[in-house]
A and B are shown apart, each in its own frame.
Chain A
Amino acid sequence: MSEPLLSIKGVSAFYGSIAALKGIDVEVMPGEIVTIIGANGAGKSTLMMTICGNPQAREGTVTFEGRDITHLPTHEIMRMKIAQSPEGRRIFPRMTVFENLQMGAATAEGGSFDEALAKVFKLFPILEQRRSQRGGTLSGGEQQMLAIGRALMSRPRLLLLDEPSLGLAPLVVRQIFSAIRDLNQREKLTIFLVEQNAFHALKLAHRGYVMVNGRIAMQGTGKELLEKPEVRSAYLEGGR
């Protein structure tokens, strides 16, 4: 069995005195798509942010490629082979698509910029068409593609995606998810995905974790979780 690429052991994180994460254990193996699902306020995004060191974990350790990154500042963590597409996309609205992508490559070491750019444009051809357009003028789906593309420009081994389906039309969501699958299968990119859209996320992921109130309540392969009655009733058929 190979070493996990990212391993989170007993991590607790606090906002002030309020515990947002209460002893989380998560492992991500190289080449996997791992998803965290859960309701609003369960701590999914906090877990994502804790990996990035903002807030830093008060207890437990976060290890990436065998190196303890628990107490590194955010920008140093993001300089390693980790890239993040943050919640709410957070592209640079007044800068062009091309400049946004350049920013993504700001800390990339080695390898050619053009190659990374060609890969992103192949994955999301619409970005090439929109190349000199400002980020803020893109549609929501295009902005999400730009956010993922920007993250890919640093040639990461691990891609963190925080709610890529947020506020997007179903058709666009399917497009984004198929791009994620592509990245995983063709580029062997490891993906850690935080999602509210449990159905899509679990269908895509190799393994999944269900978070409730800052704890991991369940885990298993995507298929297993999809079939569990608790998961179905809480996250898939809630509206019916």
Chain B
Amino acid sequence: MSASSAGKSSVVMHALKDALIAGIVAFGLFVLLLGFLADDTLGKLRPLPRPVLLAAAVGIVFVGRFLISLIYYNAAALRVLLGELFVAAFALAKRFRFVLLALMIVLAFVWIYRVPDDWPLVATIIITILFAVWLGLTPALLALAVLFPVAFYSNPYYLGIAIIILTYVMLGWGLNIVVGLAGLLDLGYVAFYAVGAYSYAIIAQAYGWSFWVCLPLAGLFAAFFGVLLGFPVLRLRGDYLAIVTLAFGEIVRIVLLNWISLTNGPNGIGSIPRASFFGIPFTADDDGFAARFGFEFDPTHRTVFLFYLILALALITNWVTIRLRKLPVGRAWEALREDEIAVRSLGINPTNTKLTAFAIGAMFGGFAGAFFATRQGFISPDSFTFPESALILAIVVLGGMGSQIGVAIAAIVMTASFELFREFEQFRLVIFGFAMVGIMIWRPRGLISSREPSVYLKERKTISAEHVAEGHG
């Protein structure tokens, strides 16, 4: 006993010494880099000391190094130390788990009650997590999505972000068909988003047709472009496919930029007709939505409608994907991802299989584009740059290729964290990068990496495939 306690204290001492050295090195490095700001406001250059920033940086290094030494180099000793604490805490929590649950619910409701006209986000998140534990992830997220506009009706900022998130969920699900199911790496998905947006904008402006007529047309156009991209890349795989799709995305953007007579070039297309409630516009006059249904006019009506519109579109994408996976064509996509030669040896035409994947994925991209155009009312080629493609692909990869709920969670995390870290300005991308690296280290096959079989046996077998290591990387 005495030996182990002596071991513990020497571990801590050793880590402290380590951290001290790291701190001194950090101070030496940062004292000029961060410690002083070259300030020239008064016309002459002088150093402005920034002791707080310096202290913070050195402090981070010190604490970080201390923890690393403690955890990595003395894992066994630390485990003994923390293990006893953890076991005790866990036993206590398990014993009083209902009390804890009740306490959390009460806390959440107290929070809501105290700020009655605006549910704070934290409470919503806590309730969603509780729901997820209780009923499972999918119903919890669905309930959150359906109730979101009710809860945040008075907060257009949150509603706006939620609409953006749902747009990315839909784009992620659309790209998931191509990348996740068919295994065709597509770096130019934003091209179909752009084609959808521009087709909607141009058709709606030129012919004055309603959103509900233009939406399928935009999808069709995008699907056509999907086939157009599909043909030249049929023989390509992996890296080569990625390069060509990347180029395709750029070609579409550059054409949009230069075909001024059709797309108005870099100035973009403005005053795109807004979505109407099945023909009833969201305006303040007598024909408007509010007057017809006896409400008082409120611009949020349109936002809420847009929210439910994109929710419905995203859910349709999801539903179609789930259905397709159970049909021969969906199975052929997945088989194609696994082994193209085997697919051919089974008499399946890989050409048609790839083209349908490109076309259907592109179609949903086009729907999302049409929605984007009607929501924004203004589109320009700036909205359809490569980073957009990269973001959508990142959502699919981080979500776990082929997993529908994983993609939804990744879209929420990525888009919401972009908003959350807005005040960090350009450091957002650094955080984004760190998050990507972290996920690739800890969950290399995505947040939700297990593939759901498309057909189940009624009874559960004792050995589930999840518990057996898969024989491939």
Contacts and interface: CB of A to CB of B under 8 A. Distances in A.
> Do A and B come together as binding partners?
yes
Interface of A: 52, 54, 74-79, 83-84, 86, 90-96, 98-99, 102-104, 106-107, 131-134, 136-138, 150, 154
A106 B348 CA distance: 7
Given A92-B339, A133-B463, A99 B344 contact: no
A94 B455 contact: no
Contacts of B469: 137
Contact of B465 (A79, A104, A137): A137
Contacts of B339: 90-92
Given A94-B470, A95-B331, 15 more contacts: A52-B345, A74-B345, A75-B344, A78-B347, A91-B339, A92-B335, A94-B337, A98-B453, A98-B455, A104-B346, A106-B332, A134-B470, A136-B470, A136-B471, A154-B347
A132 B465 contact: yes
A90 B337 CA distance: 12
Contact of B347 (A79, A90, A92, A132): A79
A153 B461 CA distance: 24
B468 interface: yes
Contacts of A96: 453, 455, 465
B472 interface: yes
Contacts of A131: 457, 461
Contacts of B348: 75, 103, 106-107
B213 to A, nearest CB: 37
Contacts of B463: 133
A86 B345 contact: yes
Interface of B: 328, 331-332, 334-335, 337-339, 341-350, 451, 453-457, 461, 463, 465, 468-472
B471 A93 contact: yes
Contact of B335 (A78, A103, A134): A103
20 contacts: A74-B344, A75-B344, A78-B344, A86-B341, A92-B335, A92-B342, A94-B451, A96-B453, A96-B455, A98-B457, A99-B334, A103-B332, A103-B335, A103-B346, A104-B346, A106-B347, A107-B348, A131-B461, A133-B463, A136-B472
Contacts of B454: 99
A92 B334 contact: yes
Contacts of A84: 345
B342 A99 contact: no
A88 to B, nearest CB: 9
B229 to A, nearest CB: 22
B338 A95 contact: yes
Given A93-B472, A133-B463, A137-B471, A107 B347 contact: yes
Contact of A132 (B332, B341, B344, B453): B453
Given A75-B347, A75-B350, A137-B470, A92 B455 contact: no
B465 A133 contact: yes
B54 to A, nearest CB: 51
Contacts of A94: 334, 337-338, 451, 470
B81 to A, nearest CB: 38
Given A99-B454, A132-B456, A137-B471, A54 B344 contact: yes
Contacts of A78: 344-347
Contacts of B471: 93, 136-138
A166 B334 CA distance: 26
Of B346, B461, B468, B472, most A-chain CB atoms within 10 Å: B346
A92 B337 CA distance: 9
A103 B331 contact: yes
B183 to A, nearest CB: 10
A133 B468 contact: yes
Contact of B331 (A77, A83, A90, A99): A99
Of A91, A99, A134, A136, most B-chain CB atoms within 10 Å: A134
Contacts of B335: 92, 95, 103
Contacts of B342: 86, 90-92
A84 B347 CA distance: 10
A92 B338 contact: yes
A15 to B, nearest CB: 16
Nearest to A82: B347
Of A75, A77, A96, A154, most B-chain CB atoms within 10 Å: A75
A154 B346 contact: yes
A99 B453 CA distance: 8
Which 8 pairs, one residue from A and one from B, show the smallest C-beta to C-beta distance?
Answer: A78-B347, A107-B347, A92-B338, A90-B342, A79-B347, A137-B468, A136-B471, A134-B465
B470 A93 contact: yes
A168 to B, nearest CB: 15
Nearest to B471: A136
Contacts of A103: 331-332, 335, 343, 346, 348
Contacts of B472: 93, 136
B357 to A, nearest CB: 15
A96 B231 CA distance: 31
Nearest to B353: A75
A127 to B, nearest CB: 13
Contacts of A154: 346-347
B346 A107 contact: yes
A137 B385 CA distance: 41
B345 A90 contact: yes
A95 B339 CA distance: 11
Contacts of B328: 102, 106
A136 B470 CA distance: 6
A184 B338 CA distance: 30
B379 to A, nearest CB: 38
B338 A93 contact: yes
A86 B470 CA distance: 21
Contacts of A90: 339, 341-342, 345
